[in-house]
Amino acid sequence: MNIKIVNNAKFATGLAVVIDVFRAFTVEPYLINNGAKKLIPVGDVQIAYDYKKKDNNFILVGERNGIILPGFDYGNSPSQIENINFSGKTIIHTTSCGTQGIINSVNARKIITGSLVNAQAIVRYIIKDKIDEISLVVLCRPGELPFDEDILCAKYIKSLLEDTPLNNLKEEIEKLKTSSGSKFFNKLNQKDFPERDFYLCTEINKFDFILEVKKDEKGNLYVEKIDV
């Protein structure tokens, strides 16, 4: 099994596991778990608005720089949507990093999303399908280093695949409170970065399914739940 960790989605080959712990690919499992009929990831904000113009019943979820976009129904916050019933709804999702990683994984044979909330399910999926080339994509903004939480998630998935599990995972998650996760504990940030988001995003292996990115008959991307 060839496992590599890359910080540019364009370098992903084989199976791309696009990781975004804070918060895109924690939000998406919640959306699907709460009944969303269809989940469409997009990179360009205007594409999201265009979908809404076509059908006002579509739900817009997303952010730029962590802030909910104008006219959107929800931001990119799991605590905001954890108890919302999305049964029968089509969700359009766009974020600063996560959905960009999906769009940019142009050299991968297959794309799934990754987060701590379904890391074990990702491992089971890879083993079950005997996938031998895996790219763990850790995201970053241009000119910056990858996010600590995404690196941790990638290391955790890699350790499980190599049967060398991390013994200090909970300790490393605790450290995130003073590094990349510190924004969730700033009282001035609670509107956009609620403290509860940190705990929802770091709830290890909450979901027993993975999300695979597929294309419909028109070539549009959508996310499909696969139980494993």
In this predicted model, what pLDDT tens digit does every residue of 57-107 receive, in sequence order?
999 999 999 999 999 999 999 999 999 999 999 999 999 999 999 999 999
What's the confidence (pLDDT) of residue 47?
Answer: 98
DSSP 201: H
Give yes or no for residue 140 having a pLDDT over 90: no
Q: How many structural domains comprise the chain?
A: 1
Q: What is the mean pLDDT of residues 50-61?
A: 97
Closest alpha carbon to 24 in 75, 84, 58: 75
CA–CA distances in Å: residue 132 to residues 135, 155, 157: 10, 17, 14
Q: Residue 8: how many CA atoms within 13 Å on its side-chain side? A: 6
* pLDDT recorded at residue 180: 96
What confidence category does residue 141 fall into, taking pLDDT thresholds of 50, 70 and 90?
Answer: confident
Give the model's pLDDT for residue 165: 85
Domain assignment of residue 96, given as a range: 2-227
Q: How far apart are alpha carbons 194 and 172 in whole angstroms?
A: 20
The answer to whether residue 3 scores a pLDDT higher than 90 is yes
- The CATH number for 97's domain is 3.90.1560.10
Q: Determine the Cα–Cα distance for residues 124 and 83; give it in Å rounded to an integer.
A: 27
Rounded to whole angstroms, how far apart are CA atoms 147 and 80? 22
User: What mean pLDDT value characterizes the chain?
Assistant: 97
pTM score > 0.85 for this model?
A: yes
Does the pLDDT of residue 142 top 90, yes or no? no
